[in-house]
């Protein structure tokens, strides 16, 4: 059995050249850059030829790990690491200094069972911090803001899904209309 047989639709093919073309020569910020999703975004942006990377992470060891990996595997890509929380407006403004073209916001609490008992932190980190970052991006004139959300936000039945849906709404509120920031969710 192949996964394509189970999809019930033709597989979607990602055009890697198009993705690389969007990132090549651009300044990119990745939040949650030490996590599983964020670190892969950092790797792919470096491989695509980003002109510079800002990696924001609140976990020291995770930040050290991705910085060491980038210095080893992509020494030609300028990298600025920030140990910071996206809920801190000053840290967000500092991360965006010097101009950023793309923001990939991967920082979030994502563990479904854990979040069921941690509603306050899920809302603080996934919703409030996302709104702070989106506002900072609008104020800094960022070109593109990509919110890494989840399929669980489509019809939320748990704290993770609900918090990520609220985060989507917060981004639409901050970046919609005439903000000048292109939002992708």
Residues designated catalytic: 152
C-alpha distances (whole Å) from 109 to each of 112, 126, 161, 164 are 9, 6, 11, 9
C-alpha distances (whole Å) from 132 to each of 44, 107, 108, 154 are 26, 12, 13, 23
Q: At 157, list the tokens.
A: 């039945």
Q: Of 1, 6, 3, 52, which is closest to residue 30 (Cα–Cα)? A: 52
Rounded CA separation 33/39 (Å): 5
CA angle 61, 66, 67 (to 5 degrees): 95
Residue 104 is classified by DSSP as E
């Amino acid at each position: 059995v192949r996964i394509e047989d189970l999809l019930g639709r033709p597989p979607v093919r990602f055009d890697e050249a198009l993705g690389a073309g969007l990132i090549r020569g651009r300044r990119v910020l990745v939040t949650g850059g030490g996590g599983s999703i964020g670190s892969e975004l950092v790797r792919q942006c470096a491989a695509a030829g980003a002109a510079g990377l800002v990696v924001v992470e609140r976990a020291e060891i995770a930040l050290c790990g991705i910085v060491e990996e980038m210095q080893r595997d992509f020494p030609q890509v300028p990298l600025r690491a920030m140990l910071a929380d996206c809920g801190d407006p000053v840290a967000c403004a500092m991360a965006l200094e010097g101009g950023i073209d793309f923001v990939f916001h991967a920082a979030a609490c994502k563990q479904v069972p854990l979040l069921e008992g941690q509603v306050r932190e899920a809302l603080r980190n996934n919703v409030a911090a996302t709104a702070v970052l989106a506002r900072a991006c609008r104020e800094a004139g960022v070109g593109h803001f990509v919110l890494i959300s989840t399929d669980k936000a489509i019809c939320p039945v748990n704290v993770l899904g609900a918090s990520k849906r609220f985060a989507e709404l917060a981004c639409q509120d901050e970046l919609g209309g005439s903000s000048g920031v292109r939002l992708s969710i």
